[in-house]
Amino acid sequence: MVDTDVQSRIHELRELINRYNHEYHVLQQPTIPDAEWDRLFHELKRLEDENPDFITADSPTQTVGAAPSEAFEQVRHEAPMLSLSNVFSREGLNEWIARVRRFAGRDELEFTVEPKIDGVAASLVYRNGVFDRGATRGDGMVGENVTANMRTIRDLPRTLTSPNGPIPEVLEVRGEVYMRRSEFDLMNEAREEAALPRFANPRNAASGALRQLDARITAERPLRIFAYGIGMVVGQIPFKHSDTLALIRALGVPTPPDTGVYSDADELWAACEAWLEWRADLDYEIDGVVIKVNDTRLYPEIGTVAREPRWATAFKFPASQGVTVIEDIEINVGRTGSLNPLAHLKPVEIGGVTIRRATLHNQDEIRRLAVKIGDTVVVERAGDVIPKIVSVVEENRTGDEHDFIWPEHCPVCGSTVERVEGEALSYCVNASCPAQLREQISHFVSRGAMDIEGLGTKLARRFVDDGLIRSFADIYRLNWEPIVEMEGLGEKSVENLKRSIENSKQRPLARLLFGLGIRHVGQQTADLIAAHFGSTDAIAKATQDEIAAVPGVGKVIAQSLSDWNAEERNQLLLNDLKQLGLRTEIDESERQSTTPTEWTGLTVVLTGRLETLSRGDAEGLLKKAGARTSSSVSRKTDLVIVGDDAGSKADKARDYGVETIDEQEFLRRMKMDTD
Ligand code: IVH
């Protein structure tokens, strides 16, 4: 780019970012996702880094947030509330560590890793242990006085609990005000019942609640706080950040859980990755982790640039949201006959993946989002699941959008569509709807079920469409003549397919049960039912009450399975499958103890090498006893079995106070003593 182009792009980016900052911080109505803001901000930063002459003091890169609203009394922060630099990869983190080491003038350094809570930054001043003033960050120098609102925060103590030593005379705790996902959902449900608009996400809701002019409204919103540091202090505090967090906790202010201290770069990275893995299971939203130098005495030496300290950085998780346009809405008919609306999107890249479709779940969701075809929407990608539509960017409406009309008939077979009472889904009533059959077959042959290699979704559909497969049993009595002639199927692949169909007959009963695709019978439930009843014959005879009495199986599942049992064609199918040689009974060795044991429901982690058992055998024993195994240690872990040469998982368990036992003790508890 030539200089004038660069300058005008810089100008354009600044205007955009200022506008979005205002929408976010002052109006509390962001119109773009965070990831888009990050992208613009980084582009501006890069251009300014490459052209330092163009940097001006009012550039958003040189200021933090937006100016405070005039509706609140202004509060000058004694120490500025800083922002954080970002890294996005392991390389970025390593470069940051190298820079910190250089500025600190030493290689041995300790770092802390904390979750980066996605909420609103807050400053809480305690005088002589009593909560005195609460403020927002504002532009980092001047914030808004929101003391009355902060007093309504559920877990914010009005007075600090005295730890062993004296409480500092003045202590400014800094942290993030946020909402738990579960409480946010409950609040939204209540709002919906009261015909009030739902909030888009916990962060916006928290931000809006904190800046209410009437604290009674704030009090109705489930705000919480996590403290992550301190600002101004008059008195003594520890020099290590981790000790300060422990002090804050001891004083009664909640701090983020699972904060750890690391001096090794590999372990530090492992901790960042662990948070990425936990992210989806947390009851609060995080958009990354924050890494800080633990020894605060080094901070002046390491320094701060443009309101970002060099001694801390945020490892931002891959973007999970993007903005695009809904080009069409299509209805897919699932294997249970459910009508699943799917949005066709203008392709958009989110976190390195091109997204073309997103689920709209059901009719209620379309109504809730008030989404129209042609709308600009925010799309979210969470883990491996199909992306979902989060919200509509209403201000982008041109008037050309149109409503999606929910079908009264199945789009595949034309049969009536019915909505089951108490459920959000509508179903095609035709049990032999070809769309259902196609989906049922591809589920039956899938990995978690009968795992028939070579019979993928495409081929399974082709067999259904050609009339070769009309039921699960047909897979085992295929007429191979037309198949051998099929285009694209070589002799070898046909031979392989025959073999894998034959092999699949040996899949355990639980897999078969799961493969049948009975509504609400997932993998875990299938395991429980197979282990309890032991055979398809016993399952077929079981009454609804008997099914509901199986530990871990609820009323809804019992109802669904007994409805399935009641259909004659399903009984004929089970009979057919038995005649065809599938495993319709379990081996004695697969029988799971159905009476609860001391292991029932426990989450157990195995680490290190065991002497008398293989990892697989140990996991098998645990599963049979009713425990669940997991590969990583968290606070939710109940027990860690530690073998030889165990690594960080054992240490982590001890840090968390999770019980650890050795192999001997494990065998003893399993009542399998070898001597
Ligand atoms: S430390 C100088 N720690 O992220 C350090 N910030 O982009 C200042 N945040 O304004 C912040 N969780 O509101 C820190 N564990 C954490 C955090 C955290 C969330 C927010 C905070 C800050 C923003 C920086």
The yes/no answer on whether domain 592-669 falls in CATH 3.20.80.10 is: no
**CB neighbours of residue 169 within 10 Å:** 13
SS3 readout for 601-619: CCEEEEECECCCCCHHHHH
Ligand 1 atom closest to 116 (CA) = 12
Q: Which CATH number fits domain 434-588: 1.10.150.20, 3.30.1360.20, 3.40.50.300, 1.20.1440.230?
A: 1.10.150.20
SS3 readout for 11-76: HHHHHHHHHHHHHHHHCCCCCCCHHHHHHHHHHHHHHHHHCHHHCCCCCCCCCCCCCCCCCCCEEE
User: Which one-letter amino acid corresponds to residue 486?
Assistant: M
Distance CA 477, CA 490 (A): 20
For the chain, the domains span 3-62, 74-316, 321-419, 434-588, 592-669
In the reported structure, the alpha carbon of residue 337 is separated from the centroid of ligand 1 by a whole-number distance in angstroms of 47
Pocket of ligand 1 (CB under 6 A): 82-84, 114, 116-117, 121, 137, 176, 228-229, 256, 290, 309, 312, 314
Annotated active-site residue 623? The verdict is no
In the reported structure, the alpha carbon of residue 281 is separated from the centroid of ligand 1 by a whole-number distance in angstroms of 21
Ligand 1 atom closest to 83 (CA) = 24
Distance CA 389, CA 399 (A): 20
Q: What is the pLDDT of residues 177-196, one digit of tens each?
A: 999 988 898 888 787 777 77
Tell me the residue ranges of DSSP E strands in 120-234: 120-127, 130-136, 142-144, 170-179, 223-234
Question: What is the b/e burial string over 270-309, where b = at least 16 CB atoms within 10 angstroms of the residue's CB?
Answer: bbbebbeebbeebebbbbbbbbbbbbbebbeebeeeebbb
Q: What is the pLDDT of residues 482-537, one digit of tens each?
A: 898 888 888 888 999 999 999 999 999 999 999 999 988 887 789 889 989 999 99
447: which DSSP letter?
Answer: T
User: What CATH architecture does domain 74-316 belong to?
Assistant: 2-Layer Sandwich (3.30)
Ligand 1 atom closest to 137 (CA) = 10
* Catalytic residue chosen out of the listed positions 116, 292, 316, 388: 116
Q: What's the pLDDT score for residue 675?
A: 42
**Residues 566, 575: contact at Cβ < 8 Å?**
no
Q: What is the pLDDT of residues 301-336, one digit of tens each?
A: 999 887 889 999 999 887 678 889 999 999 999 888
Average pLDDT rounded to a whole number, residues 292-297: 95
With the most atoms of ligand 1 within 8 angstroms of its CB, the residue from 34, 87, 232, 290 to mutate is 290
In which residue are the tokens 């405070």 written? Answer: 68
Nearest residue to 512 via CA among 477, 539, 543: 539
With the most atoms of ligand 1 within 8 angstroms of its CB, the residue from 84, 226, 308, 315 to mutate is 84
Superfamily of domain 3-62: Helix hairpin bin (1.10.287.610)
In the reported structure, the alpha carbon of residue 83 is separated from the centroid of ligand 1 by a whole-number distance in angstroms of 7
Helix 457-465 and helix 434-444: axis angle, to 10°?
Answer: 140
Q: What's the pLDDT score for residue 506?
A: 93
Q: What is the pLDDT of residues 56-100, one digit of tens each?
A: 777 888 765 555 566 788 999 989 998 999 998 899 999 999 999
In the reported structure, the alpha carbon of residue 652 is separated from the centroid of ligand 1 by a whole-number distance in angstroms of 24
Q: Whose CA is nearest to atom 23 of ligand 1?
A: 83
In the reported structure, the alpha carbon of residue 196 is separated from the centroid of ligand 1 by a whole-number distance in angstroms of 32
First to last CA, the chain: 78
With the most atoms of ligand 1 within 8 angstroms of its CB, the residue from 83, 116, 308 to mutate is 116
H helices within 344-410, ranges in order? 363-369
Helix (H, G, I), strand (E, B) or coil at 540: helix
In the reported structure, the alpha carbon of residue 284 is separated from the centroid of ligand 1 by a whole-number distance in angstroms of 15
* Fold type of domain 321-419: OB fold (Dihydrolipoamide Acetyltransferase, E2P) (2.40.50)
140: which DSSP letter?
Answer: S
Q: What is the pLDDT of residues 614-624, one digit of tens each?
A: 777 788 788 77
